[in-house]
Amino acid sequence: MEVSPEQLEKFHAIYREQFGVELDPKEALEKAIALLQVMKHVYQPMTEADLQRVQERRGHLFT
């Protein structure tokens, strides 16, 4: 998994802003790649059929 220098700098800035911690370039790259790996495993796009099932379940819950 590759992270461009621009993406890494943006990640580094966001991390610094959110956590108040200054990472060295190696740490920033390791954390950025770890985050991307987690997102790759967790995030799955929703299909139209999935969306309809979710909306139907919500309808049953709130009626």
pLDDT at 60: 81
How many domains does the chain fold into?
A: 1
- CA distances to 51, 54, 60, 62 from 47, in Å: 6, 11, 20, 23
Residue 6 tokens, joined = 């621009």
Torsion, Cα 12 17 23 27, to 10 degrees, reads -50
The one-digit pLDDT tens for each residue of the chain (63 residues) are 799 999 999 999 999 999 999 999 999 999 999 999 999 999 988 999 999 999 999 888 776
The string over 20-36, giving b where at least 16 C-beta atoms fall within 10 Å of a residue's C-beta and e elsewhere, is eeebeeeebeebbeeee
Question: Rounded to 5 degrees, what angle do the CA atoms 8, 30, 34 make?
Answer: 100
Domain holding 47, by residue range, is 5-61
